[in-house]
């Protein structure tokens, strides 16, 4: 098994934010910690509001050469010039999203706790598979993804993998050798200084 490089960070925004003020907070985080990709899990039914939030985040991120993916909304990804989509239904929509967005777009899939779902997503053309939660979040059914899934994946599968959900400093240290990315969001936005909170969380990465 080849030595795994230092995991990169996928930064996950809050599901809603003030599109006029949040970009300043986002800028400070992106200027403090090297981020590989920004994920927008935007919630709401008003497409105009979603577009304003997504475009504000895109401007900040693209100015720093950080890729941006949006959860589920293929139409907004295309209209706003985002880099791709993050699908939350495992492998089911991967082929359709790839066909719609083209070969150059990022198409990622959240696969929960199911290894088989991740394998199927990769075979369907996903650029990465995200698994979680790896730590307690109070969401879902309480089932966690163990380190053994990541160990197996890192040895057997070439598709990059993301560890996310309920991250702690201890979990970052434990999972760093077996994951390509950490997905981090809720862990830092509730803090007074999200940039400092992110630095503390990923301190084990060096």
Identify the H or E element spanning 39.
strand 37-40
CA of 85: how far to CAs of 44, 70, 133, 201, in Å? 17, 5, 20, 26
Give the side-chain half-sphere CA count within 13 A for 153. Answer: 30
More confident site: 57 or 142: 57
The confidence score (pLDDT) of residue 139 equals: 66
What is the pLDDT of the chain when averaged over all its residues?
Answer: 95
The confidence score (pLDDT) of residue 140 equals: 66
> What domains does the chain contain, in order, with CATH numbers?
8-201 (3.20.20.70)
What's the DSSP call for residue 61?
Answer: H
Span 109-126, pLDDT tens digits: 999 999 999 999 999 999
Secondary structure class of 127 (helix, strand, coil): coil
Burial 102-112 (b: 16+ CB within 10 A, else e): eeebbbbbbbb
pLDDT band at residue 184 under the 50/70/90 scheme: very high
CA distance linking residue 80 with residue 159, whole number of Å: 27
Burial 62-88 (b: 16+ CB within 10 A, else e): eeeebbbbbbbbbebbeebebbbbbbb
Strand partners, 110: 130
């Amino acid at each position: 098994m080849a030595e795994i490089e230092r995991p990169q960070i996928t930064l996950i925004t809050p599901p809603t934010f003030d599109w006029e003020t949040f970009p300043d907070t986002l800028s400070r985080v992106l200027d403090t910690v090297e981020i590989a990709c920004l994920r927008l899990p935007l919630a709401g039914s008003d497409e105009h509001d979603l577009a304003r939030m997504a475009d504000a985040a895109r401007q900040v991120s693209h100015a720093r050469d950080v890729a941006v993916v949006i959860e589920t909304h293929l139409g907004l990804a295309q209209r706003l010039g985002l880099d791709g989509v993050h699908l939350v239904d495992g492998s089911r929509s991967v082929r359709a999203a790839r066909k719609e967005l083209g070969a150059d777009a990022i198409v990622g899939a959240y696969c929960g706790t199911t290894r088989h779902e991740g394998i199927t997503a990769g075979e369907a053309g996903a650029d990465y598979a995200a698994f979680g939660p790896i730590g307690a979040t109070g969401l879902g059914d309480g089932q966690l993804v163990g380190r053994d899934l990541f160990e197996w994946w890192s040895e057997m599968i070439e598709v990059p993998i993301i560890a996310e959900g309920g991250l702690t400093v201890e979990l970052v240290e434990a999972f760093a050798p077996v994951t390509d990315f950490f997905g981090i969001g809720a862990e830092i936005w509730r803090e007074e200084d999200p940039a400092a909170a992110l630095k503390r969380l990923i301190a084990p990465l060096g």
